[in-house]
Structure formats: structure tokens, C-alpha cells
Amino acid sequence: MGIPFKIKMLNSVIFTRAENPKNGASLAEPRRRYRGARRRKRRTSFRKHRTRQLFIREGLLTQQDITAYLNQEISHDDIWQLRVAALDQRITSRQLFQVLYYFVTHRGFKSNRKAELTDKDNGPVLKSISAFETEMTENGYRTIGELYAHDRRFQDRKHNKGYTDGFIGTVKRAWLVDEIKRILAAQQSLGNDKITDKFVHQYLDIFESQRNYDVGPANGPYAGDLIAKMVGPDTFDRSRKRSPRATYTFQYFNFLTKLNSLRVADSIGGTYAPLTDDQRQTVTERLWAKGVKSADLTFKQIRALLSLPDGARFNLVTYSGDAKKALEIEGKTKFVSVKPLRDIQKALDDEQLANDHELLDAIALVLTLYKSDDKRRTKFHEQTTLPDDKIEQLLPLNFAKFGHLSTHTMQAIIPYLEQGMVYSDAATAAGYDFRDNQIDMEYIRENVTNPVVRRAVSVANKLVKAVVRRFGKPDSIHIELARDLSKNFQERKQEEQYQKKNAAANEKIAQQLKELGIPVNGMNITKMRLFNEQNGIDIYDLTPNASMAVTDIFSDDLYEIDHIIPYSISFDDSYSNKVLVSAKANREKRDRIPMEFFGNDPKTRAQFVNRVNTNIHNAKKKRNLLKETLTDEDKSQWKSRNINDTRYLNRILMNYLSQNVEFTDVLSKAKHVIALNGAVTAKIRSRWGITKVRVAGDLHHAVDAVVIACVTDGLIQAVTRYAKYQERKGNKLASLDDLQDDNPDGLDAKRFRKLFNDYPLPWPEFREELHGRVSDAPDKLMAGHPWAHYTPEEIAGLQKPFVVRVPNHRIVGPATLDTVYGQPDPDSNIITQRVRITDLKLKKSKNGDDTIAAGTNAYALAEDGGNKVVYETILRALQAANGDGKKAFPEGRVMVKMPNETIPVERVRVTGKATSTVPVGPKSVAANGSMVRIDVYKTPKKYVFVPVYVKDTVNENLPKKAATQRKSLADWYEIQPQDQFEFSLFANDLIHIVNKKGIKTTEINADGMSTNGIREEIVGYFTGADIATASIAFDGPDRSFSARSVGFATLDKVEKVSTNYFGELAVVHETQPLGFTNKGD
């Protein structure tokens, strides 16, 4: 009846995060970047095509002339000297083509919107433009081309791309337009009658053609009003679109929401209370009264407005432990900012317009949805009656982001917020009930923007459906959302740094304990940390001699760790709720807060406050210690907050499961889905003696799931009674009270104490059952024991849980990698590549000599010795810097003394062996992009595999060459008609392999250490293939072992296996390799 009594099934289902594991970037980012590059290339190519056609159409050149020029059959002039010469002397049509053809690919900076001219990201560009303007004026240059040709700074380089010394400058497109006009006018005046006004107009039309952001890339999913298309629906009313955050309505709504959630305590340990009506009115007028121009409101300003005492604290401010810094922190912490609204009002520069709320909303909508000036002007004329001068003043403003509600919905809720209701109550009063929201996968896609969370919800949804299909309606579903799931990559890295710092601090304490001869364990480390934090002072001992001897604190008879807010009340086991105190004081304190323990004597309380302020610097801990009273509401909220996880994402998932899963009627609807706080389950797991070893595999997730499932209301009540008993058992009077008041079964004292002396378990022998179920052989380990809920047949059928990994069958990624190489030598298959000298490293040759390498490629001394001086200079520099190119060449270049001059060298040409490349030009190749899968075949002699890359997905026929060890692609084995196709393997597909001679593995032990192993038979997840060695790699199901460079030809048996969410395996039989739908023309 809703009470767990047996482990029916347990398993781990693992899926990859929907992000780049290296930097946390979106998986769509490369595709977006490549799409943008293709779009720019397509548009540049079209401008070049139109320029060629213009010269042919107007009779300046023939198609043959242009072809000869583009194929380098005609020598090219120096473009920079040519641009200057064209201003004063007649040049040929071919030379004019060279100049104008260059211009359509190098067009300078131009923005379609004024807002971009104030964009911080364009700071270097705008600064460079300003510097160029000054230099042209001071030196009398007629054109920017003349500046580049004559200024000594640009003798060696004139472009930004591909150099180590960074950005050198950007020119305005308007300057280039002026230069083009000057050149064409000069050529007209010098007698070139084919340069007509029509020619000039048509060329400038080609040169200046540019789509603005709002128009987009012609027809398609990214065309026209892209931002407007992406705006999601109102959370409460899906027929309406969400409002921009820059609107007056949103800014005022957001302010009221925060104002009504603000609480103030008169002292550090005081009770937080909402603001009074008068206080709310005072704060509101500070920001929203007519004529107010300030955009920000800090907590320090609120303190002054409300004349709060120095000891007062705000619930929305994170204070440090130093009370003196409270005002400083409040001064830096913004309560709210309405800067977008103030920017609009300032641009309008009209008091009447600046207070027209409907107009302010319309302005914010236009400035958020549209980015080009032309589109904004059009929309302003359509949606407002603003005069042109006001519109021009608004154009430099740029806003982004939307709220979750429409303007209509917020306006309906605002009257109730103005009455002081918190947001949830105000929404309900306005007729919007959160419980009425239909939460489906579409709603989640619209409201959950984090792709990592989206994937987690999607997998959880599929898993729940599978469990329901297998076992029927559940009584309840318990979930625990990983603490870092909703955090971005940077936040997780910061958390990792904090954990490393904490681990280092614990290691330092562990060393102290070893020196003192004290056992190193979690309890003793915590005691030592608390001892150090409290400066060796017993916080509850108010006598002058309150110092603790470090050698005594490890005796449980003398000193104990106390939960400041009793655990039976708060369920808070965090470090901020712990102090090290004498066992005697802890017994006397019982299940009370410190201020209750010290009574109502003002002198005693003052002593305790002074003791805390002097020795405790953790702000949360100080607040717990000085909390004056503990109301029933405090107790209820404290326990609920620490047991339940009420984060937004949890609420969405809970509501989704509640609405979309059919439950039994054993439990109330409120108990159908429970989201637990990870800290509580971690504490309970620890008390049950269940260790969590992450490094030894992924089965710990299955163990976590069992623990989470067992944390029911009944268990929480049992833990509460246990904690309360432990807190009071040292006090005889309290123990007698418990025996009388909390003993419904009428047990005698001895049996009562025994009942509460052991930490509650979900059912007897729970630990033993869990240990047996996750063991390597549960059928053997659990056999012969009289289990209450297992038949002998069930025991015999038990198997070790098989960790399930979600396979990746998506075909994504570029067809080739970015790096371009020279055409491979047809005989040696050697490729060349130019690399920065900072990428070079020293590498030892087989005979121990120093050689120069860049990754797997080598920079070698040429056979004719032509690069000897450069080679030896680089070699000496690397040797002096311990082989590190970045340290050897901090400026990205090296000056090489040649016989007649000293030259700078920034790049060198390296060589390497090509295995599989793709032509990307007449004289260049690139390495293959992502490997999509491998197709496995069985020849009469052995197994082979054919790698299938992204580029192969658009070819008419699938590849038929099998990877052959240490041979070039041309020499690979060709699949023959008699060869039997077995199956295709994608990343994370399961395989079963057998090698009677043994497969070398890396085994991960429980302590995280790795050892070498040998296995004859393996079922594991395929992780990749190496075409150079014709080998594969895979991980064990739970990552407790792995194997790399497993020679495919040496295997005796290879099978593809599938698994469901329950770890049940089945052999997969495939008849032919599947083709792809995205074929090329």
C-alpha cells in the first residue's frame, strides 16, 4: 500500500549531455557557424559572378580574358599600387577588373542599424575606424587605399586574418565607396568611354548589396522576422506571445514580484517579515514616481529609505560572515534595475511620452523584435504616432530577451501584486492557476531552453513510459534532479574548482590528523574543520575557560558535532548547520535552537551573541546560531525546503509526470510525484552504510535510484523520531517525556530505547538485499538465505544490473575537418600543412635525438638543406624552452638571421602521413570529418570493418573499402561479393566479442586505481574505431573496464547486441547496410 518492501528491479540508464564536453557550447553552434560561413561564401561568390558578368556585358573584357586572369595565366599587378595609380593615370580594363574584383570581396565595415554603432563588441572596430579617419585627415590621403600603400605600418601586412600580432584595423565601407567613385571618375576623365554612368551605378549596386538581419537569407526557415518567429507563448495563455523584458509592463511587474517576496529581519537571527503597506509604498515611489530618472535600486538604498537598524538583514542578499561588510554588500547588490525603461524615456526626451505606458510597451516591442533601422522605422510608423525625430533618437537602442508572460496576462495580475500578494497568489486571484497548466512535451520545449535539461527530461519521459508498460500503474514516482543539471558549463567549472579547493583543505586537515595520530575519517575531518573555524572555542560554553584541547575533540564522550537547528526539525545536515561543542552542552540543548537553550536572560544571551560574532564568520551559520525563535511555520518550511527540491525544473517535471502518468489510488494525488533534495538522500544513504564510488563504474546511479525510491513519508517520520530521540536521549527528563508522549504501542523503557537506537531502514535486511542485487553474481550471493520476499526461483533468475547507454545514431558534423593540407604526394602519401611555430614541440626520435613535431606531423630538415638556418634556429629555441613552442616564441614569431638579412618566421611547413582525406580544392585536401558508423563484414578469413564518414552520407554509393592496418586508403581491402555483411555499429552500440587468446583491458578498481586485465569474452559499448590500426575501442557496460586498440581481424566472434531500459540483451541481425536519405545530386 505505497510502502516499499522489495527491490523489484534496479538499473542505470546513461545518456550524454546535450553540449560540447570540452567547453559546454551548444551542439548546434558548429552547424550555425558553418551555415553562416557557407552563406557568406555564397553571397561573396554571387557578387563576384555579377561583377564578371558586368565587365563582359559592358564590353570591357571577354570571358576568355577573365578566365585567363583567374587561372593566373596573366600576371597580376600589386593591388595596392594599382589602387593609387588608378586615381591619376589610365589603367587597362584588365587592371580595372583586378581592382573592382578585389573590392567586392573586401568591403569593410557597415552596419544596417545604429544600435550596432554603440555595441561594446564592436569597440575595437569603431576605435580603429576613428584612428584611420584622423590619420587620413592629418596626412592628406585621398583614399584609404592610398593610406595602406604609403603608410610604413602596412608594408608587411594589410589584413587582420592569419597573423599572430592581432588586429590591425578595419575600414568603413563608405570610404571604399568613395574610393571606387574616385577611381571610376578618374578613368572616365582619362578617356575610358566604356565606363558609363550606368556601369558605375550597376557596380556600386553590386558592391553595396547587403541583406539586413530582419529580411534574413531569402526564403526558408531563417527568412523574415526571425526573432518574432521564435518568441514563445504565454505560460498561462498560449494564444498570446510573451512580452519583451524591456516593456514598461514587464519592468513594473518584475519590480512588484520582487518587492512582495522581499523579507526583512530586525537582527541577524531575527524572523523575516514582509514589508508593510507603507514600506512597500515608500520603495515603490523611489523608483516609479513621476520624474524619477535613476535606473537602479540597491538594498543599501532600501535600508536608508525604510530607516532600518544596522543589524537588519534582507532575505534576498547573500551576506558574508563579517557584519561590518553588510552595508558594502548591500550597496553592490541591486534589488532591481529598470535600465531598459530609463533608456527609452531618455531617448524620447519628452515627459508626456515618457509616461505613456502603452507607448513604452510598443517601443520596447519594436526595439526587441527588429534589428535593422529600416524595419524599425516601418514598424514605428505602423504601431505608434511618434514623429521622425523621436524615432531616430530611439534607433541606437537595442534590447533582447523575453519574459514568460504576455503583456495582457501581466496587466491582469499587477492589481493583485499592488495589494502585496506574492506572485503565485496574485496569479491565482487573477484567474491563472498554475495547476491548470497543461504540461506536455510541447510545453517543456517552449519553457525549458537548456538543451541539457531538455534531453534529461526526454530520456526520463521514455524511461517512465517503459517502466509503466512493464510493471503497470505506479503508486508514486520519486525523482532527484542532479544539482548541476541546470547549471551552465561555466557554473559547473566553478563548482568543480570549489570542490577541488574543499578537497585540498580536507587533505590538509587529514595530514594534521595523521601527525596527531588520529584516525582519518569524515567525522574527524569535520571536527577538525569546526575546531579551526571556531578558533578552538566551544560556542555553547560561555565561561572564560571555553577553549577546547585539540587532543580532546576526537573523543565522543567529550565533544560532539551539534546540528544548530536540530536535524529532527530541519533535516539540514549542511556544514553551515554544525558546530563543535561539549557533549554535556549538547545533551542539555537537546532538540532546541541555541537561543532557546540559553533562555531569556538578557545577559546570557548577550554573552552568546558576542561569542558568535567573535568566532563565527560563516553568514548562514551565524544566522542559525542567533535565530531567536522557531515558529511552527519555520519548522514546516525548514523541513519541507530541505527534504523537497522545489527548483523550477523539478516543478515542471513533477507536473508533467503527474498529468501524463496514470497512478494507482493508493496514495493521494499530492504524493504521486515527489522531488527529493539530493542532500537528504545523500545523508540517508550514508547512514545506511551505502558508499558511493563514482570512479568504479555507473551502477552507483542504480543504487541512488533505490535510495530515492525508499525515501517515503513514513521513512521521513521514522528518521525524524530517530533524530529527535538521539538529540534527547542524553537528557533523562526529556527521555521520560518521550517514553510517555511518543510511545503509542506502550513499550517498556528498554524496548523503546532499542526501537529508536538504530537508524531506520525501509525494511529489514534492506542493506543486504541491495548489496546482493548490485553484486557481480546476485543469484549466487543471495542463494541459501531465507529472504522474506523472494522465492528460490526468483533468486535463481537474478542477474547483475546491465547499465544501459543511450546510443547515438544521429548523423551530424562537418564532412571534413577545418584544417586544409597540400595535395598528398602520390608515391609516399605525404601531406603538407603550414602551422604556427607556437604549435611546435620537441619530440625524441628512436635514437634519442631531438626532433620537431606539430601533433602527429613533423617539421624536418629538408633533403637539400634549404631550410637549415630556420630549422636550427627553431630547434635551439625549443630546446631552451623545454620543448614548449608557446614559451619558446611568446610573440608568435622568431627572427632568423639569413646571409643578407634577418627575416621574421611565424609559420613553417610540416609533413605527415595521410590516411583518409577529402579533396577540397585543385591542390588541397582536408581530413575526413566525423565517423558516422562502421559497417562490419566477415570475409572467409576474418572480420573487417568499413568506416563510414559524414561525406559518405551524400554519395550515391556506400564505401566498400575496409580499414587495413598500416596501409594507405588506396591499398585498403576491397569488399568482395562473397563477403558477408554482419551489421553497422554506431557510437554506444552494444557488441559481444570473443577472442580465445584474450583481449587486453584496463580494469577500474573501487579505489579508482586501474590495473591491466585479460578477458576472453566481452559485452561492451562501442566507442570508436582507429583506421590506422584497423582496431576498435569499447567500454564495459558500467565503465568498470575498457579496452583500446582491439585488433578487429584477431577476433573469433563479433555480434551486435541490443538492450532495453531493463538491461535485457538480444542479438541483432541485419541483412544489408542501410543507405542514407540525404543523397547528393
Whole-number pLDDT of residue 737 = 56
Mean pLDDT of 398-424: 95
Alpha carbons 143 and 150: distance in angstroms, whole number: 11
Q: State the average pLDDT for the chain.
A: 88
Which phi and psi angles does 1011 have, rounded to 5°?
-135, 160
Q: How confident is the model at residue 1002 (pLDDT cuts 50, 70, 90)?
A: very high
Whole-number pLDDT of residue 733 = 56
- Among residues 541, 545, 553, 540, which one has the least CA distance to residue 512? 553
Whole-number pLDDT of residue 731 = 60
Mean pLDDT of 287-301: 93
Mean pLDDT of 331-342: 95
Whole-number pLDDT of residue 696 = 62
Alpha carbons 200 and 184: distance in angstroms, whole number: 7
Q: How confident is the model at residue 954 (pLDDT cuts 50, 70, 90)?
A: confident
Whole-number pLDDT of residue 496 = 84
Mean pLDDT of 923-933: 83
CA torsion 546→551→557→559, rounded to 10°?
40
The three-class DSSP label of residue 1020 is strand
Is residue 1080's pLDDT more than 50?
no
Q: How far is CA 748 from CA 185, 725, 751, 756, in A?
A: 112, 15, 6, 13
Q: Which of 563, 672, 700, 701 is labelled catalytic?
A: 563
What are the tens digits of pLDDT across the range 623-673? 999 998 888 888 888 888 888 888 878 888 888 899 999 999 999 988 999
Mean pLDDT of 380-396: 95
Mean pLDDT of 940-968: 91
Whole-number pLDDT of residue 1081 = 41
Is residue 753's pLDDT more than 60?
no
Whole-number pLDDT of residue 324 = 78
Alpha carbons 82 and 265: distance in angstroms, whole number: 76
> Between these two residues, 455 and 113, which has the higher pLDDT value?
455
Number of H helices, E strands in the chain: 41, 32
State yes or no: is 563 an active-site residue. yes
Cell matching residue 902: 634577418
Alpha carbons 987 and 170: distance in angstroms, whole number: 45
Q: How confident is the model at residue 558 (pLDDT cuts 50, 70, 90)?
A: very high
**Residue for grid cell 551576506:** 319
What are the tens digits of pLDDT across the range 171-220? 889 999 999 999 999 999 999 999 999 999 999 999 999 877 677 676 66
Within 8 A by CB and 6+ apart from 139, the residues are 147, 151
Whole-number pLDDT of residue 855 = 85
What are the tens digits of pLDDT across the range 862-882? 888 888 899 999 999 999 999
Is residue 823's pLDDT more than 80?
no
With b meaning 16 or more CB within 10 Å and e meaning fewer, what string describes 649-673?
bbebbbbbbbeebebeeebeeeebb
Whole-number pLDDT of residue 167 = 62
Within 8 A by CB and 6+ apart from 79, the residues are 98, 99, 102
Whole-number pLDDT of residue 166 = 56
Whole-number pLDDT of residue 1076 = 82
Task: Yes or no: say if 129 and 173 are a contact pair by the CB < 8 Å rule.
Answer: no
**Residue for grid cell 547573500:** 318
> How wide is the angle at C-alpha 156 spanned by C-alphas 153 and 162, nearest 5°?
110
Instruction: Tell me the torsion sign for CA atoms 194, 197, 202, 207.
Output: positive
- Point out the least confidently predicted range of 55-69, 216-230, 684-698, 833-847: 216-230
Alpha carbons 989 and 1063: distance in angstroms, whole number: 13
Task: State the amino acid at position 26 in one-letter form.
Answer: S
The three-class DSSP label of residue 189 is helix
Q: How confident is the model at residue 453 (pLDDT cuts 50, 70, 90)?
A: confident
Whole-number pLDDT of residue 924 = 80
What are the tens digits of pLDDT across the range 597-636? 998 889 999 999 999 988 998 889 999 999 988 888 888 8
Alpha carbons 522 and 389: distance in angstroms, whole number: 70
What are the tens digits of pLDDT across the range 828-847? 778 888 889 999 999 988 88
Is residue 118's pLDDT more than 90?
no
Cell matching residue 881: 624552452
Alpha carbons 1027 and 838: distance in angstroms, whole number: 29
Cell matching residue 79: 593591388
